[in-house]
Amino acid sequence: MTAAHDASSLPAVLDRLDRLTDWEKRPRGGMRVGLDPMRDLLRRLGEPHGRLRVVHVGGTKGKGSVCALIEAGLARAGLRVGRYASPHVESVTERVCLGGRPVAGAILARALARALDAHEAARRDGTAGQDATWFDVVTAAALLIFGEAGLDWAVIEVGLGGRLDSTNAVASEVAVITNVELEHTEILGDTRAAIAAEKAGIVKPGTALITTLGPDDEAGRVVAARAAALGCAVLRPAIPPGASIAQENAALAGLVLDHLGASGATGIRDGRPARLSAALLDAEARAVARLPGRLERREVRSGAGPVPVVLDGAHVPFNLAAVLRDLACDEELGGPCIALVALAADKDAAGFLAVLHRHGAAVVCTEMPERRGHGAAALRAVAVAAGMEAETVPTPVEALAHAADLAARRGGWLLVTGSLHLVGALRSRTSAPARAGGAPPGEGPSEGAAAPAAPAPPSGRR
């Protein structure tokens, strides 16, 4: 039997998986939230998460890069580490990493098949697992893989919110909340305080909280109160004014490693126990932790030659502002910025485009037809109303070619942003920069690329 017809192959298992509700593709106003389906799946799989030591990372932005840095630091200490992340850029295997690399497709397929079998058993029995979603099943499969891999640590990224997120079925020794801004307000609440209360749900008795949020901040007060009620320590990194995104992320990850070391956790260096600390995040570890689609420097061909491209999945105004602030320090990005933009329907299009306008960017608006999103024409109307130069090219591939030609004619550079799904759809049509290393000097601007991803799944499977 060929792989194409093998019911246990990854494409076949993903076909089964895609029959479940996937809130990454649908309007989220009616989103079912709750942990009972997830807990039922895990019970049926033998509670694999109970064998894990976990660092749980939530927040509005930066959580993926912070997870990758923590993973790299722990691995640098000689420890066996798994990392769970979402969403993926090009392949679903990116979501589950072992030893710093996306898991093999066959391993993920087996775990997904077992999690789907558990879901089907719950349907037959009429238990909570019958309501499991796409993300529930993928999360359960990841925890199954981690539980059977004999890991020293698992670094788990929250999917959405925290309190009722599928990943919150785990118990953690450290909870990280990177930051809190307005996002997913139809689910999490329409104030930073309300959103912070949801994100603080990952803090549990015995967990140390590490966050950039200050005690006098609206969201910081909420998460600090949650920690105090549970008797949990709150630790905050020292971040200098004007720190780059990469520096903030490294400060958070470094504090996690320092705390673990102070709590007695050790690694193995040269055959001997070694204390964990921020010193593990040396240049080699930071290079390993770079993630695709996060301030990633690439280039794309145009009729006039190669055009510098930055791929970044920023989709909220405050994060885009930080991205553009960091990129403004890069002397290799000369000339005007042409921004190729697609945004999900629940994103603040006016606020997002206003940030680009302040930075003098011209916009090419596109859309992801298989995603819930703003139409390209509607995005352009918002941009034009704000006084921006804007064009519409609905098909992403054609939009990339047009935007690259526009940037080349103007002696500028291209920013692909607004959606990691857009980045994932176009990344294979760009290439690594010709210059050595492919990364700007110093800390950034790249937050980080992980090990090469496995081949991309069929178009639209995200």
Map out the domains of the chain as residue ranges: 3-20+35-288, 296-429
pLDDT for 320 equals 95
CB within 8 Å of 128: residues ≥ 6 apart: 36, 37, 39, 40, 122
**One-letter identity of residue 53:** R
pLDDT for 49 equals 96
pLDDT for 184 equals 63
Q: Quick one: how far is CA 40 from the chain centroid?
A: 26
pLDDT for 453 equals 35
The CA distance from 34 to 28, in Å, is 14
Report mean pLDDT in 10-residue bins for the chain, 462 residues.
Answer: 56 92 52 82 97 96 96 96 95 96 96 98 96 95 97 96 94 96 68 94 97 95 97 95 93 98 91 92 94 94 91 92 93 93 91 96 90 89 96 96 96 95 95 61 36 33 29
Neighbours of 422 (CB within 10 A): 28
CATH superfamily for domain 3-20+35-288: Mur-like, catalytic domain (3.40.1190.10)
pLDDT for 437 equals 42
The CA distance from 15 to 264, in Å, is 45
* Cα three-residue angle 286-289-290, rounded to 5 degrees: 100
What phi, psi does 268 have (nearest 5°)?
A: -130, 115
For domain 296-429, the CATH class is alpha beta
Question: Is this prediction's pTM over 0.85?
Answer: yes
The answer to whether 48 touches 148, Cβ cutoff 8 Å, is yes
What phi, psi does 187 have (nearest 5°)?
A: -110, -45
